[in-house]
Amino acid sequence: MLFLGGADRAGVVNLLFEALKRLTIYTGNLGSGKTEVAVNTALGLMRLGRRTTLVDLDIINPYFRTRLVRKQLEEMGLKVVSNEGKFAFADLPAVSPAVKGVIEDGGVTGVFDVGGDDVGAVALGRYREMLMEPEFAMLLVVNTCRPFTRTEKGIESYLESIEGASGLKVSGLVNNANLGRETGLDIILEGYATVSKTAEKLNLPVVFSAARRELAGQAARALEGKCPVLPIDKFMKTPWEQ
């Protein structure tokens, strides 16, 4: 099974993927977990039969970039666009022609992992004239266990800085409240409460919550009727886990 929790829950997650725009852009501050969310989204879309490309536009975090697991993902069948060769770990956006190709090819489903602050959002902003409103959504991944996004006010402030730097509007929020291996169901639910209050204030949807695969079933039952839950498999490793 691709998804945790049986056929009904798998169907809910599949519907989540099918509801995503052709281009899904994930942004979020350092420690939000947006890269894991982006990787798992791209793999899920690929497994549904979509011609999917994962685009690494993260020029901020040297330790949790999609390009670090590019070989593994490509062996799984997922196409990844990122800097290559001697530029693989440079603080530069991914090669522009390849990114442009993902945006312009209507047959490609693109998932973008964008740098986690206003500097990172500037890298995305260079493509804003190419992004057509009906085709893309920019989703803010929020981890309420991180210092700058613990509160509604903090989330709002961060969202405003990303919108200002990128020139694009956030379309929805993703609850990814977690403390790594210390995460319990209570943390996910507390995070959802804060994220949903913020979303309501901003008139935005909570598109989904994310949870480690072993917690996803519990979270889905607890949040049933509120938002779907995306099971997360871990790909990114800290330097001491390499």
Query: How big is the chain, counted in residues?
Result: 242
Return the minimum-mean-pLDDT range out of 59-73, 81-95, 106-120: 81-95
Q: What is the pLDDT of residues 193-236, one digit of tens each?
A: 999 999 999 999 999 999 999 999 999 999 999 999 999 999 86
- Structural domain includes residue 27: yes
Domain that holds residue 25: 6-85+109-230
- Structural domain includes residue 165: yes
- Structural domain includes residue 92: no
Task: Give dist(CA 41, CA 89) in Å, integer.
Answer: 23
Predicted pLDDT at 15: 87
Enter the pTM of the model. 0.88
**Site of tokens 């989540």:** 16
- Structural domain includes residue 90: no
Structural domains counted in the chain? 1
Predicted pLDDT at 115: 75
- Structural domain includes residue 94: no
Handedness of CA 160, 162, 167, 170 (dihedral sign): negative
- Structural domain includes residue 155: yes
**Site of tokens 């489903």:** 109
- Structural domain includes residue 235: no
Q: What is the pLDDT of residues 67-100, one digit of tens each?
A: 678 888 999 999 999 865 444 445 555 456 889 9
CATH number, residue 169: 3.40.50.300
The Cβ of residue 143 has, within 10 Å, a number of other Cβ atoms equal to: 25
**Site of tokens 């509160």:** 151
Q: What is the pLDDT of residues 10-44, one digit of tens each?
A: 667 888 998 999 999 999 988 899 999 999 999 99
Residue 242 structure tokens:
């390499």
- Structural domain includes residue 207: yes
